Amino acid sequence: MDFRFSAEEEAFRARLRGWIERTTAEVFGRGDAIGASTASLLDVGDDSKWERLKEYHRRLYEAGYAALHWPKEYGGGGATLIEQAIYQDEVLSFGLPLYGCNQLAIDRIGPTLIFMGTQAQKDRYLPKMLTGEEIWCQGYSEPNAGSDLAGLQTRAVLDGDSFVVNGQKVWTSLAHRADWQVLLVRTDPEAPKHKGISYLLVDMKSPGITIRPLVQITGEAGFNEVFYDNVRVPKENLVGELNQGWQVSIATLMYERVSGGTRHPVERTINELIALSKQIEFDGMTANRHPYVRQKLSQFAIEARCLRLSRYRSLTAQLRGKIPGPESSFGKLFATELNLRVAMFADELLGSYSALDKGSFGAVEGGRWTQRALAARGLTIAAGSSEIQHNIIGERVLKLPKG
Ligand SMILES: Cc1cc2nc3c(=O)[nH]c(=O)nc-3n(C[C@H](O)[C@H](O)[C@H](O)COP(=O)(O)OP(=O)(O)OC[C@H]3O[C@@H](n4cnc5c(N)ncnc54)[C@H](O)[C@@H]3O)c2cc1C
């Protein structure tokens, strides 16, 4: 296989890189500030970070980069596999989010609507996902339904032209910023649990919705509890058939797991760790000269390269119009576990300094390594925990018997 890029592809990369350099400098600030600010941009509890991220999204859209992987007929870039791979590599190398401020809409909800929505739903929702005018969140998990998602209890009852929703969701990322939500509800409590679920599009400003932010161990409030008290949702906001929402939700989850494998800028983090190892002492010598540290860093770099190559493989399937299958669990599992090991190793290198968080006197690089270590575990849980990904790979890829 020839991994070299053509002259046109190199020109695309150069244009994109120039655009990112200019835009990040203008929106987020110059030099180290770019890395430092963008690394934590997904912590959207802070209003000023959120406004900058929205501004970045606006520019992404105007430049035609907001959804390179969507077909042109829906306002996307209709990019080739290679352009898409170049886009991901470049954006991640800057530590930027792949899809601006509307990650959930562009990486998973929009593609689900393109695949399974009605024409009216596509016309109504897709354009404002792209522009970032309408932000989306995903209401799946409940206090007693996470890994066992099909056990969800939030009820929706059809009453005339609308569903009436009652219940509670939890861990809903971005609910406090969102205009719209995809919501999984139980519409037939008598049916077997996977069969009585429906998939609704819900206006987050509807009367009866209450949102309570949850503060994470990092100190940010990125996700929420959401309560529904007789919330009316028009019947035309049902995606797919009534009681067939499980299939729709699985499509969204597969897109989510693909992006879960791509969205972590782990190669950039490893490069930053290499830079850090030149600055600090470990076991009586500069860390980057220590054999143990060198072995670890090389191993991380090899794994990150394998991850990049397997990302290209997932992209191939998507660009051929297929819904990603169980192989998307590989990327999600591998990327988030690698990210966790890198963060833990940074802690080991920093020794007692790793206890100093942002805002503390003496915190190394503003405490960003500590923040990363605190956030890394959550990423192995979001979008299906590592244990669940292992189960999926065991049963659906390796065909092992059910545990
Ligand atoms: C950062 C973050 C963002 C999130 N954002 C959203 C969001 O926007 N929308 C949303 O709906 N949800 C969101 N979630 C919730 C996430 O999907 C759930 O936390 C996840 O599915 C796990 O469910 P749970 O927390 O209920 O844990 P549980 O399902 O109770 O699991 C507890 C433990 O048991 C293990 N376990 C459970 N079942 C099995 C099994 N069969 N085999 C082996 N081990 C098992 C799990 O791996 C885990 O270690 C988010 C979570 C995080 C951390």
Q: How many CB atoms lie within 10 A of CB 61?
A: 18
> Domains, the chain, ranges and CATH?
7-96 (no CATH), 136-244 (2.40.110.10), 264-397 (1.20.140.10)
> Residue 273 corresponds to which tokens in the numbers above?
């760790």
What average pLDDT score do residues 286-302 get? 98
Instruction: Name which residue leads in pLDDT, 264 or 243.
Output: 243
Distance CA 251, CA 141 (A): 16
For atom 38 of ligand 1, the residue with the nearest CA is 147
What average pLDDT score do residues 212-236 get? 93
Amino acid at 145: A
In which band, very low, low, confident or very high, does the pLDDT at 31 lie, cut at 50, 70 and 90?
very low
Nearest by Cα to 367 from 356, 351, 376: 356
Distance CA 143, CA 104 (A): 21
Residue with tokens 């593609």: 111
142, 256, 267, 327: the active-site residue: 256
Q: Is 35 close to ligand 1, i.e. is its CB under 6 Å away?
A: no
Q: Which of 1-15, 103-117, 155-169 has the lowest mean pLDDT?
A: 1-15
Q: Is 147 close to ligand 1, i.e. is its CB under 6 Å away?
A: yes
For atom 29 of ligand 1, the residue with the nearest CA is 147
For atom 26 of ligand 1, the residue with the nearest CA is 146
pLDDT at 338 over 80: yes
State yes or no: is 256 an active-site residue: yes
pLDDT at 317 over 70: no
* Residue 94 · residue 24 · CB < 8 Å: yes
How much distance in Å is there from the Cα of 88 to the middle of ligand 1? 27
How much distance in Å is there from the Cα of 386 to the middle of ligand 1? 9
How much distance in Å is there from the Cα of 205 to the middle of ligand 1? 27
Residue 164 is predicted with a pLDDT of 98
Closest ligand 1 atom to 375 CA? 1
In which band, very low, low, confident or very high, does the pLDDT at 395 lie, cut at 50, 70 and 90?
very high
* Residue 217 · residue 240 · CB < 8 Å: no
Nearest by Cα to 315 from 89, 63, 20: 89
For atom 40 of ligand 1, the residue with the nearest CA is 388
pLDDT at 361 over 80: yes
How much distance in Å is there from the Cα of 293 to the middle of ligand 1? 33
What average pLDDT score do residues 69-95 get? 89
Residue 38 is predicted with a pLDDT of 42
pLDDT at 18 over 90: yes
Closest ligand 1 atom to 383 CA? 17
How much distance in Å is there from the Cα of 223 to the middle of ligand 1? 13
Q: Is 271 close to ligand 1, i.e. is its CB under 6 Å away?
A: no
Distance CA 244, CA 235 (A): 15
Q: Is the dihedral of CA 26, 129, 166, 253 positive or negative?
A: negative
Non-local CB neighbours of 82 within 8 Å, separated by 6+ positions: 5, 9
Q: Is 384 close to ligand 1, i.e. is its CB under 6 Å away?
A: yes
Beta strand pairing call for 180-186 and 136-139: parallel
How much distance in Å is there from the Cα of 300 to the middle of ligand 1? 26
In which band, very low, low, confident or very high, does the pLDDT at 32 lie, cut at 50, 70 and 90?
very low
Distance CA 270, CA 300 (A): 7
> Residue 363 corresponds to which tokens in the numbers above?
């915190």
Nearest by Cα to 354 from 370, 343, 366, 342: 370
Q: Is 40 close to ligand 1, i.e. is its CB under 6 Å away?
A: no
What average pLDDT score do residues 156-177 get? 97
Three-class secondary structure of residue 208 per DSSP: coil
Q: Is 144 close to ligand 1, i.e. is its CB under 6 Å away?
A: no
For atom 24 of ligand 1, the residue with the nearest CA is 146
For the stretch 136-164, pLDDT in tens is: 999 999 999 999 999 999 999 999 999 99
In which band, very low, low, confident or very high, does the pLDDT at 26 lie, cut at 50, 70 and 90?
very high
Nearest by Cα to 130 from 72, 202, 175, 215: 72
pLDDT at 403 over 80: no
